[in-house]
Amino acid sequence: MDLTGKHIAILGVGRSGRAAALLALREGARVSIWDLAGARAFAEMPAGVEIHPEATAGQGRDVVSDLLVISPGIDTCGSYVAAFSAHAGEVIGEVEFAARFYQGGIVGITGTNGKTTTTELVARILAHAGLGGTPCGNYGTPFAEVVLQASPPATVSLELSSFQLETIRTLRPVVAVWLNFAPDHMDRYPTVDAYRAAKLRIFENQTPQDTAVIRSGEVLPSLVAGTVTISTTDPGADWFSDGHVILHAGETWLDMAHDTALRGLHNAENAMAAMAACQALGIPASTMREALHGYAPPPHRCELIRTLDGVEYLNDSKATNLHALESALRSQTRPVVLIAGGKDKGLDYEPVVPLLREKALATVTFGQIARPLAALFGEAVPSEPVATLADAVAAARILSPHGSTVLLSPGTSSFDQFSGYEQRGNAFRDLVHQLR
């Protein structure tokens, strides 16, 4: 793709947008970057980039570009993008832009839940095999930053959100991993089918020589790539786990308790998906076991904060949708006091009620959806609505007997009270450590 002398307009001044700007400059383009943010957000922008702070849709309608590159956090269906698209030769996202200048192989990973852990596991195995090692895309480093490295890795572990998949055109994973699907982001997508269609684009450019790793039982359209199945319920799948060991072709490939710090069926699925993807690249089992030895999941994913008076406190702030909340609940072996709540994303929480009857002693709800969530969860167990996360931790401590677990698994995003799930999880960690 020759960008010499062409005008590349970039929407979004965050890390992805800056990386795209540097890549466009390297390829000889004239680069402009636009954002609603003020001038301070554009500090230390690379020399040669035209900056446009406080950019409006009205300005966007007058922008003529050969290529418009959209950062992943910007709604591609909104009026802002529509304005800048009016006179753009082509509209793509940052990951698609980076892919056009990357010569290696892509392991693409999507799913409603488990993407980040799986992306880390794949990256760890790739690094141990000498093929790469930088998790990128929706998690870790922007893909364009990886492409800008002096010696880009031979293979990347690329987490792909639905937002990023909306704007691909040619991006082709040699291995595409589909972990699961459940309704999410209903504040962005008009229907569940629209959200699903965006995620399914991960398979769009694959060939018969490529591999699709999918969870057994997922209903997917006919795929061109060869399929490999994983399961924690179907022993007939290509890869199977009971949550303790991972089996492939009747042989044990990984003992989770002995080889890793991963626990639970949801993490077994993540590990299987990573191993299946890497086997498709020809990496042997012994290399994978060495790579995963001692691996612990990232923070905010059923992270044990402390045990106080016989009560475990788990931080699962990464659970920003119903499916993640259900997975966290199912994986618990002790009675649970659930802390849930946050922003109203228009999700239907009715399916979690039967699981609460099975797993929970009580729930404490907080944030924007505290009261309606408490009313619904109250059909199953005692439920108390409170205003803040601090109030929720205090209430949960009173409700949790010796031998139980206080589980922060919000089931929705944090943007009513926090900047993201990380800040929410860090706040929970601090609050728990303050308990006496």
pLDDT tens sequence across 125-134:
999 999 987 8
Q: What percent of the chain has pLDDT over 70?
A: 98
Structural domains counted in the chain: 3
DSSP H or E stretch at residue 96 = helix 94-99
Predicted local distance difference test score (pLDDT) of residue 185: 55
Domain check: are 262 and 321 in the same one? no
Quick check: is 359 catalytic?
no
Domain check: are 124 and 191 in the same one? yes
Evaluate whether residue 298 is within a structural domain.
Answer: no
CATH of residue 24's domain is 3.40.50.720
Domain check: are 244 and 321 in the same one? no
Domain check: are 327 and 405 in the same one? yes
Domain check: are 132 and 265 in the same one? yes
Q: Are strands 360-366 and 239-241 parallel, antiparallel or unpaired?
A: unpaired
CA distance to 68, 70, 168, 281, 285, per residue, from 10 (Å): 6, 6, 15, 34, 42
Angle of helix 322-330 relative to helix 265-280, nearest 10 degrees? 110
Quick check: is 343 catalytic?
no
pLDDT over 60 (residue 186): no
pLDDT tens sequence across 328-359:
888 787 899 999 999 988 888 998 999 999 99
Domain check: are 252 and 188 in the same one? yes
Predicted local distance difference test score (pLDDT) of residue 211: 98
Evaluate whether residue 119 is within a structural domain.
Answer: yes
Placement of tokens 């239907």 in the chain: 348
State the catalytic residue, choosing from 7, 113, 128, 138. Answer: 138
Evaluate whether residue 251 is within a structural domain.
Answer: yes
CB 394 within 8 A of CB 340: no
Domain check: are 265 and 335 in the same one? no
Closest CA to 317 of 429, 184, 404, 396: 429
CB 135 within 8 A of CB 117: no
Separation of alpha carbons 108 and 172, rounded Å: 8
- The pLDDT mean for the chain works out to 92
Q: Which residues of 349-377 are buried (b: 16+ CB within 10 A; e: fewer)?
A: beebeebbeebbbbbbbbbbbbeebbebb
Query: CA angle 180-99-140, nearest 5°?
Result: 60
Range of the domain at 14: 7-89
Quick check: is 185 catalytic?
yes
Domain check: are 118 and 248 in the same one? yes
pLDDT tens sequence across 136-183:
998 889 999 999 999 999 999 999 988 899 999 999 999 999 998 765
Evaluate whether residue 1 is within a structural domain.
Answer: no
CATH of residue 122's domain is 3.40.1190.10
Q: Which of 268, 292, 316 is the last residue of a domain?
A: 292
Evaluate whether residue 2 is within a structural domain.
Answer: no
Evaluate whether residue 280 is within a structural domain.
Answer: yes
pLDDT tens sequence across 198-220:
899 999 999 999 999 999 988 89
Sign of CA dihedral 185, 191, 196, 198: negative
Evaluate whether residue 372 is within a structural domain.
Answer: yes
State the catalytic residue, choosing from 7, 52, 113, 115. Answer: 115
Domain check: are 257 and 148 in the same one? yes
Q: Which of 64, 89, 114 is the last residue of a domain?
A: 89
Angle of helix 115-128 relative to helix 285-292, nearest 10 degrees? 110
For 47, other C-beta atoms within 10 Å of its C-beta total: 5
What tokens were used for 63? 């922008």
pLDDT tens sequence across 276-300:
999 999 999 999 999 999 887 778 8
> What pTM did the predictor assign?
0.77
Evaluate whether residue 141 is within a structural domain.
Answer: yes
Domain check: are 263 and 354 in the same one? no
Q: Give residues with Cβ within 8 angstroms of 222, minimum separation 6.
A: none
What tokens were used for 1? 């793709």
CB 392 within 8 A of CB 435: no
Q: Are strands 336-341 and 360-366 parallel, antiparallel or unpaired?
A: parallel
CB 96 within 8 A of CB 170: yes
State the catalytic residue, choosing from 7, 52, 128, 185. Answer: 185
